[in-house]
Amino acid sequence: MSARATDHGLDDLAAAARAALVREIDASGAWDADPVWREAFESVPRHLFVPYYYVGAPGGYERRWGEDPSARRREEWLRGAYADAPLATRVRDGELVSSSSQPSLMAKMLVELGVRDGAAVLEIGAGTGYNAALLSHRLGGELVTTVDLDPEITESARRHLAVAGYRPAVVTGDGACGCPERAPFDRVIATCTLSSIPRSWLAQCRPGARILAPFATGLVVLRVRDPGHAEGRFLHTAAYFVPLRGGSRSGRDDLDTPPAGLPRRARGHELFRFLLTLTAGSLTPDAALALWEREDCPSRERYGITVADGNAWAWLDDPEGPYTWPLP
């Protein structure tokens, strides 16, 4: 924390705000299946990873930062840093390019990742470094690798991690290519939305590894069988992340917006938008609507993804069933 913040007694406020955040995540049940993560969130100071962030304001974004001359605004910055909400951390030409995810969603994703002591983890999307710090606290920095395409993001993440006392490997590179020099991995977690499943990730995983990634406004968990095969289902949780930048982009961004002309009940339904994004390029909106109504608005857990023999496809209920759609 900055000298200015310390001089004004914000350390105590930070500790109290962090404890309140942990209680809020407790109440959400996010880490019921693996409460060891509670200690990581209690210990890692999120405000060190967001020395500034942006909030919506008329005409764009307003910057909040820990070095603001106003004591009141510095306190607003600190309280906001411990809100259970995503924080916009990097904006270019009015476009959000990096953020710190909602802590309760981060907790759920880390639990679903299913790490165990000694597991080597690859994170795609370094962001602020906060998620890598949580992983490092649990596993040790030597087992954590975080990759981002943007050298400004990796440099700031590396700096935040050092200030907080963590030393994972922070690599500048195309996340779609993984990080072969640090492989093999037992777990891969992406903090950016995918439009395809990078085959390089499978090749860099040990058999039995788990991949957790945002895909089509949801979160898919894949079990890796070998370098050519992985399969798994979506969680029930909705998830909206900044798209992966780099080699795996295929122009599917924002395809979850339903076109005009569809019934209002479908256009306004979050699960229908999920289906539209998942099947983009394979189903017309009218065909997606017919399927959605015929199957009684299927929940995310009924969908899955398979990667096998050089192909990848999404499916409903059964990877070999009647409802399958090719992926890039």
User: 158-213 pLDDT, tens per residue?
Assistant: 999 999 999 999 999 999 999 999 999 999 999 999 989 999 999 999 999 999 99
Residue 104 among the catalytic residues: no
For the domain 114-253+298-328, what is the CATH code?
A: 3.40.50.150
CB neighbours of 76 closer than 8 A, spacing ≥ 6? 64
pTM: 0.91
Could you give the CA distance from residue 96 to residue 87 in angstroms, rounded to a whole number?
A: 10
Task: Give the integer Cα–Cα distance in Å for 63 and 53.
Answer: 6
- pLDDT of 159-169, one tens digit each? 999 999 999 99
Range of lowest pLDDT (94-98, 177-181, 238-242): 94-98
Residue entry with tokens 């922070």:
170
Instruction: Single out the catalytic residue among 2, 28, 43, 98.
Output: 98
β-bridge partners, 219? 214
Cα(293)–Cα(277) distance, integer angstroms? 16
Domain ranges of the chain: 1-102, 114-253+298-328
